[in-house]
Structure 1
Amino acid sequence: MDKLPKIALPAIFALIVLVIIFSKSTVTIGSGQAGVLYRTFGDGVVTDEPPMGEGFHIVAPWNKVFVYEVRQQEVFEKMNVLSSNGLDIKLDASAWFQPKFNELGKLHQEKGEDYVQRVLLPTIRSAARSVVGRYTPEQLYSSKRDAIQAEIFEETKKIVEDEYIQLNEILVRDVTLPPTIKEAIERKLRQEQESLEYEFRLVTAKKEAEKVTIEAQGKADANRILSASLTDKILQDKGIDATLKLSESPNTKVIVVGGGESGLPLILGNN
């Protein structure tokens, strides 16, 4: 019984050591993550092998594993930039990105775990200042927001692709102009809209007047043609036809007493 404690203590100590070693030798990579292996007694960061994927891994206890999020992520950035005429513009943008999976080791080795602050955000700021500086406040307020969004994306992507970052999208969420400039632009847009509306009314009125003129001219031309075609002989024949039709009516009594100046019969009564 006296020897049991002497045997048990080393065994307990050995068990504790084994548990520590085992815990140091296992790594679990979560969903949407990947691990970069660092060999302490080797060449350091492993860049010539694919990173560790999701799941359970056993590594030497003296090595380290750095875990990265490899799913698409979003980062927000608010910045002050200058327009082409030097006015201060507030730009609210976000970026969708993810590290390139097969180059994760190089990203860790060259940029580190805070690569978003070191590489991505400074590049977005630089691209935004460059792009917004090409446009006036009026263009930023109205028609050019989609254009600057696309240009910021292209300029940022061109740089970060060489930095092992995959840029998926840049979203310009808000462009804030100085209040006085915004009011001036809105006033100008209202005036332009009113001017366009006035021009539309003028064009509509002109077209309506042209329509009335054309209709009147058509009627005048028709009457002139009709007058030119009605000779005395045609009028006399039409009068005779009308008189004959009237005399054939059962409800009409016609007394013909002679001819008028035109040679047509005279109707004295119809009762």
Structure 2
Amino acid sequence: MFLIILGLLIVIVSFVIARAEEQVARFSKIIRIAGLVLLLLGAALSMFKVVDAGQVGVKTLYGKVDNDVLYSGLNIINPLVEVTTFDVKTQNYTMSAIHDEGSKSGDDAIRILTSDGLEVTIDLSVLFSVQPRDAPKILKEIGGDYLDKVVRPITRTAIRDNAVSYEAVSLYSTKRQEFQNKIVSEINRSFAKRGLKLEQLLIRNVTLPESVRKTIESKINAEQDAQKMQFVLQKEKQEAERKRVEAQGIADYQHILSTGLSDKQLQYESIKAQKEIALSPNTKVIIMGNGKNPVILGGN
């Protein structure tokens, strides 16, 4: 476009010079030819537009947006057309309480009020992309600043509107996935109306108030202590049962001995033991007494 305008100016200047004196007439012809060359060169170059990979181009002629989209590669267009490019790759918009981690500097986390009146802080990332066929619509209705005009406000509003249905602790634990599914569905519908596609919503962190965190930690510690005590009691119970079974076994054995062995059986067992001692290679001295049991002295 610049070369076209420059060529036109040179041609006009050449015609003005042509009306001057004859000595500059030849110079005016040279200028006129140079201007025509620049005009043609500018027109030729303006007819070709290269769109990079992962982008689409939207044509505008004197403020009117063309609905035909230019895709990546070399495109031939009207030299007077202006082309606005849109990134159609996956984009990430992060809102975080950590400084310089989000898309905006400083603390950009979302602070919400839950159904029990507590303030909860949420960090999240929105993964989205521009729908190529809807790029002209975005340019006409939103413009190039769709991050601040669409992505940011719609996401924050959807989270705040849905968070009021949940208690803080539920939002932190048991209802977290349900909450995420609801806001994904709502944001996806809003994005689709505006030419954007929600690819994924990542709730990165849910921060509860300090008082609630301490209550949860105390509850968890109490549950852990209760589980530990239950384990100890179970172990003691098993040990007591083992001792009871052992004592019962000893009592049963003693009962069998006291009621099942006769004098003759005891005398028989004594004779067997004496026989085994007599057959031993060691020297023995057996002194028979008046009692029922002999006295045995052993030696080498």
TM-score tier, shorter chain, comes to 0.7 to 0.9
Find 1:34's aligned residue among 36, 53, 56: 56
- The reply on whether 1:269 has 2:297 as its aligned counterpart is yes
1:255 aligns with 2:286: yes
Structure-to-structure mapping, 1:95-174, within 5 angstroms: 95-142=126-173, 144-174=175-205
Query: Contact 1:74–1:96 (CA<8 Å) still a contact in 2?
Result: yes
Matched residue type, 1:45: D
Tell me which of 190, 193, 210 is aligned to 2:224. 193
Whole-angstrom distance in 2 between the partners of 1:183 and 1:225: 63
TM-superposed deviation, 1:71: 0.6
Structure 2 residue 79 is matched with structure 1 residue 61: yes
Aligned residues: 264
Q: Which stretch shows the higher mean deviation, 164-173 or 101-110?
A: 101-110
Relative contact order: is structure 1 or structure 2 higher (C-alpha 8 Å, sep ≥ 6)? Answer: 1
Show the counterpart of 1:75.
93
Counterpart of 2:146, as a letter, is Y
> Shift of the alpha carbon at 1:110?
4.3
> What amino acid maps onto 1:270 in structure 2?
G
- Give the counterpart letter for 1:221 in structure 2: D
Look up the match of 1:52. Answer: 70
Q: Which residue of 2 aligns with 1:93?
A: 124
Counterpart in the other structure of 1:84 = 115
After TM superposition, give the deviation of residue 69 of structure 1 in Å: 0.3
Please give the TM-score of this superposition, normalised by the length of structure 2.
Answer: 0.74
Q: Kindly report which structure 2 residues correspond to 1:5-24, keeping only aligned pairs within 5 A, or say none.
A: 5-24=27-46
Please give the per-residue CA displacement for 1:33-60, whole angstroms capped at 9, x wherever unaligned. 111234559x8431xx5x3222232211
1-side partners of 2:83 and 2:136: how far apart? 11
C-alpha distance 250-122 of structure 1, shift in aligned 2 (>3 A): same
Distance 1:107 1:219, change over 3 A: farther
Q: 1:177: which partner in 2?
A: 208
- Structure 1 residues 202, 257: closer, same or farther in 2, change over 3 A? closer
CA gap 1:135/1:244 in 2 versus in 1, 3 angstroms: same
Q: CA deviation at 1:172?
A: 1.5
For 1:235 and 1:157, the matched residues in 2 are separated by: 94
**Counterpart secondary structure, 1:269:** strand
Structure 1 250/188 Cα, relative in aligned 2: closer, same or farther at 3 Å? closer
| 1:70 and 1:101 in contact (8 A); partners too | yes
| Structure 1: 4+ residue segments shifted above 6 A | none
User: Any idea what SS the aligned residue of 1:255 has?
Assistant: strand
Q: Say if 2:110 and 2:123, in contact at 8 Å, map to a contact too.
A: yes
Quick one: structure 1 residues 63 and 185, their matched pair in 2 at CA, closer, same or farther if it must change by over 3 Å? Answer: same
Q: Secondary structure at the match of 1:161?
A: helix
Q: CA deviation at 1:115?
A: 2.9
Closer/same/farther in 2, CA of residues 142 and 189 from structure 1, 3 Å limit = farther
One-letter code aligned to 1:128: I
Gaps of 5+ in 1: none
Q: Secondary structure at the match of 1:190?
A: helix
After TM superposition, give the deviation of residue 111 of structure 1 in Å: 4.0
Structure 1 window deviating more from structure 2 (156-165 vs 26-35): it is: 156-165
8 Å CA contact 2:286–2:296 kept in 1: the answer is: yes
Report the AA paired with residue 260 of structure 1.
G
Identity of aligned residues (%): 30
Contact 1:34–1:53 (Cα < 8 Å) also in 2: yes
